Amino acid sequence: MSFWKKIFGGGEDNQAAPAGDKVLGEETHKGFLIKAIEMKAGSEYQLAGTIEKELDGELKTYKFIRADRMSSKDDLIALAIGKGRQIIDEQGDAIFR
């Protein structure tokens, strides 16, 4: 996998959510389930989440991590859900390829 895909997302390594991720909030958008995931960065939270959808009888998961950091869990949840909506609106099912 290329260096840029590892940093900015995409490819197989970015599609499976590690077991044990703490879900802070979730929302359904256009048939996808967006989950805000707790990712600590020192005393702050880093923007992270997953997008899930069942395709052809199989649950597909896409994990996204962004550089944004915040001190509030509520801010994290709002931003992660918003970023998930943006990714879905821009890419749709293509995020799972």
Confidence grade of residue 17 (pLDDT, cut at 50, 70, 90): very low
Domain-wise residue ranges, the chain: 3-96
Model confidence at 4: pLDDT above 60: no
Q: What is the mean pLDDT of residues 3-11?
A: 51
- Residue 85, Ramachandran bin (φ over 0: left; ψ between -120 and 50: alpha; else beta): alpha
The string of pLDDT tens digits covering residues 32-80 is 999 999 999 999 999 999 999 999 999 999 999 999 999 999 999 999 9
**DSSP letter (8 states) at residue 12:** G
Q: Tell me what pLDDT residue 9 has.
A: 54
CATH topology of domain 3-96: Double Stranded RNA Binding Domain (3.30.160)
